[in-house]
Chains A and B, each alone.
Chain A
């Protein structure tokens, strides 16, 4: 087993002429939860888009389980066991709750997660399974988005802005469910604006600032000053 599941080296990312990431170095170890923090526009979402194949990358910049996935299409990356819970949920409005979950299983990977397992984790979704996905409340939609990613039985799951736009009580519930979600030998990357939350669930933290990694540290030993310096660039 390789000692990293995801290895990012010297990653640059562009939107047309605009460069959003500069030489990002990052790795995820099997079974760990990694937190990514950073201000708006620091490149967190771009990093997610690069990893999942929605943005084109240069050769050998992203390795997954030791294999180069930099130039694969997003669907090919998904088939290899990398799933994302996108920012703002992004459920399919024309699909029911159940169909949204089913489409997550489209990659055809076997594992512990199926419809029943997701319904056990979020029982409310079973009651709402035939409703249109976007008729649910924000928190319930986030449950569908998480369930949809789990249905792919991924090895690595990316959470982009997991608590953005949700009520604090819902955020608490979702964080409470997180150990059950990631408990099954999965690795996770969590992009989070709430730094305290991010540090409490993760083993390591990376901070991005203007497209560069400004901090890499163990989550339990990092100091407030280090974070503010890495976050805001203030000396």
Chain B
């Protein structure tokens, strides 16, 4: 029973990791940009949520109404103002610039919010739980997992059933030809980053309700996000969810064996999958 419990809890944790990863997956898919600052942007969203909730007293989940559009706007401005300038045939400039952005964000957050761990107060939601057979499930982890399902379904639907998604795929396939079709790639990239950071906002708020956070934890969230993306296979959002779940289960099962093994076992499973299936478990069918 304990093992089943570990697997179920790990699966639910995987929902959060999938939310970390979805934004990364999306921007890599559209513009081949590896965003090293992604984890710090998640933390930024958590702090924005903290500011909103402590200033207005509203529930963190209600704060999403403000934080999601704010992060979306930050994403668009960041892309048009900075990241578009780094994109080209060379993969290195965007890596370096987003690495620098990560350093700036961490130190900026440290300056404004100090290094003290913070937490958002979500009231009864934090501890609420219900019984399912012999298992006891926390309402918040279940909610997080459902949100991840909805977000990934929504992104998938946007990609394959809207003109925006068509534009994302066209620009991803061939930027020059997409430009000939009247698509301004700089604007499309801006929209992709806005969408990615809107998802990041959801991830950041849920993270901030679940655990305490401080300005230094972005790097760890980036790694979990990366691992989920790579395990699932680049460019496949449902694969990303599966990757998050595998990582989450590996961590909780590892912790069950020995509490010190939680993070390590996640990394080991990631490495094993990378060694056996370098393209991930569910890579997008090659065009």
Contacts and interface: CB of A to CB of B under 8 A. Distances in A.
Given A99-B166, A102-B166, A103-B166, A93 B182 contact: no
Nearest to A79: B182
Contacts of A84: 180
A106 B169 contact: no
Contact of B182 (A86, A106, A132): A106
Contact of A103 (B167, B172, B176, B287): B167
Interface residues of B, number: 18
Given A93-B173, A95-B170, A78 B181 contact: yes
A125 B86 CA distance: 39
Nearest to A106: B182
A71 to B, nearest CB: 15
Contact of A75 (B163, B166, B173, B179): B179
A90 interface: yes
Contacts of A132: 287
A155 to B, nearest CB: 14
B180 A54 contact: yes
A44 to B, nearest CB: 17
Contacts of B174: 90, 92
Nearest to A108: B182
Contacts of B166: 95, 99, 102-103
A95 B182 contact: no
Contact of B184 (A73, A83, A95): A73
Interface in A77-99: 78-79, 83-84, 86, 90, 92-95, 99
Given A75-B182, A92-B174, A148-B181, A106 B287 contact: no
Contact of B183 (A75, A83, A94, A134): A75
A86 B287 contact: no
Contacts of A211: none
A53 B173 CA distance: 19
A114 to B, nearest CB: 15
Given A103-B166, A103-B170, A54 B179 contact: yes
Contacts of B181: 75, 78, 103-104, 106-107, 148, 152
Given A102-B163, A103-B166, A73 B179 contact: yes
A70 interface: no
A84 B287 CA distance: 23
Contacts of B163: 102, 106
Contacts of A83: 180
B180 to A, nearest CB: 5
Nearest to B285: A132
Contacts of B170: 92, 94-95, 103
Interface of B: 163, 166-167, 169-170, 172-174, 176-184, 287
17 contacts: A52-B180, A73-B184, A75-B180, A75-B182, A83-B180, A86-B180, A90-B177, A92-B174, A92-B178, A95-B170, A99-B166, A102-B166, A106-B167, A106-B181, A106-B183, A132-B287, A134-B287
Given A54-B180, A73-B179, A74-B176, 20 more contacts: A73-B184, A74-B180, A75-B181, A78-B182, A90-B174, A92-B174, A92-B178, A94-B173, A94-B287, A95-B166, A95-B169, A95-B170, A102-B163, A102-B166, A103-B166, A103-B178, A103-B183, A108-B182, A152-B181, A152-B182
6 A-B pairs with the lowest CB-CB distances in the bound complex, closest first: A93-B287, A107-B182, A74-B179, A78-B182, A94-B169, A92-B173
Interface of A: 52-54, 73-76, 78-79, 83-84, 86, 90, 92-95, 99, 102-104, 106-108, 132, 134, 148, 152
